[in-house]
Amino acid sequence: MSNRMTLARRLLLINTTLIGLLIAVSLTVWFMMDKVMGAADRISKTNVPQLELIAELELNVTRTSLQVRHAILARNPQELQATLEDVGAKKKLLTEKLDAFGKGMIDEEGRKAFAPLPALMDDFWKQGSANVALIQEGKKDEAFAFLVDKTIPARNALLAPLALEKKRQGERLHPDPVRARRSGRRTARPAGSVRRPRRQKSRKCA
């Protein structure tokens, strides 16, 4: 009778311990999933608007350079005036979008990526304004040469870091699936498990 009571107590203790461990593991997994979901939600709310702003900046910077070229090819004063007014409107729009883009950088890496953009944007408009001045003076040949030699390189210098930041933001929004699977396999490995050492093939003696 005494042995049966002892065995029953042992079984009860083992069951209680196992249930406690299961509860602890479940709570740990729940807390981890909650943190992961929270991080994913923050990334989605931050990165999606930033990627949209990058797309708008890239599009309007490119359109501005095309409008400068269109101004050189304008067939009459009315067409030239309409084109230059559109360039002015794009300058205002780009200033607003760049400001919003900078305010959306919430981490140190993002702020470092944004740091050179205002100066590059200023240089782009500096070259663009000089280009427009040549057009307004009727110096179309000089204006076209300036477009190729100055304005377009300034545009490309501005677009380059935007492309890098678009890639970085995109990778945060859509992580590398290969890395995710590897991470998942590491996480899924049972606690306390030990990898079996690889057996080394015995070398035959000559």
pLDDT digits (tens, 9 = 90+) for 136-186: 999 999 999 999 999 999 999 999 999 999 999 998 886 655 444 454 444
Q: What is the 3-state secondary structure (H, E, C) of 58-75?
A: HHHHHHHHHHHHHHHCCC
DSSP 138-200: T-HHHHHHHIIIIIHHHHHHHHHHHHHHHHHHHHHHS--HHHHHHHHHHHHSPTT--PPPPPP
Tokens of 130: 């000089």
User: In a 3-state reduction of DSSP, which class is residue 204?
Assistant: coil
Model pTM above 0.95? no
Distance between CA atoms of residues 198 and 206, nearest Å: 24
Per-residue pLDDT tens over the stretch 6-18? 767 777 778 788 8
